[in-house]
């Protein structure tokens, strides 16, 4: 996943609604009022740093980690509300890191979102079993990501992906 620098320079409203002529439901815009602690985990440092910078530009507090082992340590220290995590990484893949994070008593309210190139149905099932609440395929639709962040306080008993934006019970 890569981000165009022009996107980083836009206002939060422009990021949420890049087509100024299109109507917004308001849900995406409301998310920008709710500030989250977000951990971005990806072994591609440019990807992680770019997404973290974008989240900070929207007012969130963001941290990064570049492998699964470091993600576990940073999550324990930072106690994020949301973790955006790649799956294919060194030193614990995203599935392993998610399982270890989910095992922590403080992590029951953390929303784990897989952001990965792994898009097969089996990958989605593995993500769900590992404790992810949502599964997004790279390149990520930023509007979809912002919508997920805006509804993250919903019950997380089932995964969400690009094909189903509602949390299933």
The confidence score (pLDDT) of residue 16 equals 37
pLDDT of residue 10: 30
- DSSP category for residue 113: E
User: DSSP characters for 123-158?
Assistant: HHHHHHHHT-SEEEESSP-HHHHHHHHHTTTS--SS
Average pLDDT, the chain: 77
Beta bridge partners of 134: 113, 160
The rounded distance, in Å, linking the Cα atoms of 136 and 97 is 17
- The mean pLDDT of 72-93, rounded to a whole number, is 96
Share of the chain above pLDDT 70, in %: 70
Where does the pLDDT of residue 70 fall: very low under 50, low under 70, confident under 90, or very high at 90 and above? very high
Is the preceding peptide bond at 139 cis, omega within 30 degrees of 0?
yes
CA–CA dist 20, 17 (Å, integer): 6
Q: What pairs with residue 38 in β-bridges?
A: 62, 82
Confidence of residue 152 (pLDDT cuts 50, 70, 90): low
- pLDDT greater at residue 65 or residue 149: 65
Q: Which domains does the chain have, with CATH numbers?
A: 35-156 (3.40.50.2300)
pLDDT at 14: 34
- The reported pTM is 0.74
pLDDT tens digits, one per residue of 5-61:
322 233 333 333 434 333 344 444 444 567 899 999 999 999 999 999 999 998 899
Q: What is the pLDDT of residue 153?
A: 53
**Nearest CA to 42 among 126, 128, 131, 138?**
138
């Amino acid at each position: 996943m890569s981000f165009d620098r022009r996107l980083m320079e836009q206002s939060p409203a422009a990021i949420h609604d890049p087509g100024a002529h299109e109507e917004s439901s308001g849900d995406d815009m409301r998310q920008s009022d709710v500030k989250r602690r977000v951990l971005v985990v990806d072994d591609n440092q440019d990807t992680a740093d770019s997404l973290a910078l974008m989240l900070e530009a929207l007012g969130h507090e963001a941290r990064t980690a570049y492998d699964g082992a470091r993600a576990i340590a940073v999550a324990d220290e930072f106690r994020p509300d949301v973790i955006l995590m790649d799956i294919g990484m060194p030193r614990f893949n995203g599935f392993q890191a998610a399982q270890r994070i989910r095992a922590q008593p403080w992590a029951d309210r953390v929303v784990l979102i897989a952001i990965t190139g792994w898009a097969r149905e089996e990958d989605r099932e593995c993500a769900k079993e590992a404790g992810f609440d949502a599964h997004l395929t790279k390149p990520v639709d930023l509007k979809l990501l912002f919508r997920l962040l805006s509804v993250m306080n919903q019950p997380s008993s089932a995964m969400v992906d690009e094909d189903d934006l509602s949390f299933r019970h």
